Amino acid sequence: MAIGAIGWAFASSGLAGIGASPALASRAARRPSLEPPVIVEPFTLVPCDAATTLGMQGCLEHRIVAMDRRIDADVAVLFRLLPTGGARRRLVVAQDDWISYRLADCRSQADANAGGTLAGVDAAACELRDSTARRGDLVAFYRGLEQGAADAPALP
């Protein structure tokens, strides 16, 4: 489903109220095995077309998915560099919380055009901005971890 004015509300409706709650924080502890999280988007990609609102949203969504893959790869490298299971678990919780934050932040920003076709474009543009900022945070985290580690894997 493309997340437009109606789709955005529908796709995210099951996640209302998610935030930095104890239930979310314990989600990492309930995973069958401790592994780096992978971002899963609630939308189905639509073709990119700068001439239509839905197409503009599609263009942004393609960029979001590409950034998601970069973030997933960065988190996987950081996960391997962390020295303990506790440190890895905290990274998983942080990433889960960030994904929830991004959804809530972008849902809020899309409210500026609620009921209109631009709401989906607003939400997608917000996701791309938040994801770009998150990637910068992860790169900074990596730089701190890889200092003094001659065999540290490079970020993709």
Mean pLDDT score across all residues of the chain:
82
Rounded Cα distance between 39 and 3, Å, is 16
**Computed over its alpha carbons, how large is the radius of gyration of the chain?**
17
3-state secondary structure 73-140: HHHHHHHHHCCCHHHHHHHHHHHHHHHHHHHHHHHHHHHHHCCCCHHHHHHHHHHHHHHHHHHHHHHH
Per-residue pLDDT at 149: 72
Give domain limits for the chain.
5-15+27-146
Intra-chain end-to-end CA distance of the chain, in Å:
30
pLDDT digits (tens, 9 = 90+) for 119-154: 999 999 999 999 999 999 999 999 998 886 777 788
The more confidently predicted of residues 42 and 90 is 90
Rounded Cα distance between 110 and 3, Å, is 11
Rounded Cα distance between 40 and 103, Å, is 12
pLDDT digits (tens, 9 = 90+) for 12-54: 333 333 333 333 344 545 555 799 999 999 889 999 999 999 9
Per-residue pLDDT at 109: 95
Residue 82 predicted with pLDDT over 90:
yes
Residue 8 predicted with pLDDT over 50:
no
Per-residue pLDDT at 59: 97
Residue 117 predicted with pLDDT over 50:
yes
Contact 37, 79 (CB under 8 A): no
